[in-house]
Chain A
Amino acid sequence: DIQMTQSPSTLSASVRDRVTITCRATQDISDWLAWYQQTPGKAPRLLIYKASNLEGGVPSRFSGTGSGTDFTLTISSLQPDDFATYYCQQYNSYPYTFGQGTKVEIK
């Protein structure tokens, strides 16, 4: 199975900060990577697919880069709604696997 490792596990930031989350795969997954946002008690929400494609309705402050094994999710100017947990997911091969999550907290 492909393991996905996110860093950091927790991130403290303030509104309007620029935030970057990284995700590393244990093998080359090309650009078959998605990013999700989850708030407590809710289902994950798709933000980005194919490493850099913004899902419809997602604010443009979210962006994704990377290919191969190393990926990043950037929030250009953190907003109050963005305090949540973020997950990366590879869909290069079965079984699809997720990172352990990065919790973005209020500083």
Chain B
Amino acid sequence: QVQLVQSGAEVKKPGSSVTVSCTASGGIFSSFDINWLRQAPGQGPEWMGGIIPVLDKADYAQKFEGRVTITVDKTSPTVHMELSSLRSDDTAVYYCARDGGSGWFDVWGQGTLVTVS
């Protein structure tokens, strides 16, 4: 059973960057895509982008293009999401999630609260 475990909560200053990590266990890491989503208080989830580890190819939502970078360390196996030029409205819980086949998300990390203040 695949599990995704994320790094801990972060508090950041506006203008800085944050990196959130997501480590997979219990499955063949390279066989599934990992996505990053975020959820601001009282809002629905928002898809930020995803990576295909076996190809090391990432796709990003246009809203975050230029500010977000998703990378994979196949030896760990860990996926990292870096968000730069942080603003107060980036305050949210950030999730990594596995693509279950064609774009739905069947396994989620526990979430990482990022506070920009």
- Please determine whether chains A and B interact with each other in the same assembly: yes
CB distance A96 to B47 under 8 Å? yes
CB distance A98 to B46 under 8 Å? yes
With A43-B110, A94-B61: A87-B101 Cβ-Cβ less than 8 Å? no
User: Number of A interface residues, CB 8 Å?
Assistant: 22
Contacts of A99 in B (CB 8 A): 44
0/1 string, B44-64, CB within 8 A of A gives 1 = 111100000000000101110
CB distance B100 to A32 under 8 Å? no
Question: B110: nearest residue on chain A (CB-CB)?
Answer: A43
Question: B98: nearest residue on chain A (CB-CB)?
Answer: A46
CB distance B109 to A98 under 8 Å? no
Contacts of B59 in A (CB 8 A): 94
User: Number of B interface residues, CB 8 Å?
Assistant: 23
Question: A98: nearest residue on chain B (CB-CB)?
Answer: B44
Complex CA gap A98/B40 in Å reads 13
Question: B46: nearest residue on chain A (CB-CB)?
Answer: A98
CB distance A32 to B103 under 8 Å? yes
Complex CA gap A98/B46 in Å reads 7
Interface hub of A45, A92, A94 (most chain B Cβ within 10 A): A94
Contacts of B45 in A (CB 8 A): 36, 44, 87, 89, 98
With A44-B45, A96-B47, A101-B44: A91-B104 Cβ-Cβ less than 8 Å? yes
0/1 string, B31-45, CB within 8 A of A gives 1 = 000010000000111
Contacts of A67 in B (CB 8 A): none
Contacts of B63 in A (CB 8 A): 95
Question: B42: nearest residue on chain A (CB-CB)?
Answer: A101
0/1 string, A58-94, CB within 8 A of B gives 1 = 0000000000000000000000000000010101101
Complex CA gap A89/B45 in Å reads 9
Complex CA gap A100/B40 in Å reads 11
CB distance B103 to A95 under 8 Å? no
Complex CA gap A36/B43 in Å reads 14
Complex CA gap A87/B59 in Å reads 23
Question: A46: nearest residue on chain B (CB-CB)?
Answer: B106
Residues of B whose CB lies within 8 Å of any CB of A are 35, 43-47, 59, 61-63, 95, 97, 100-106, 108-111
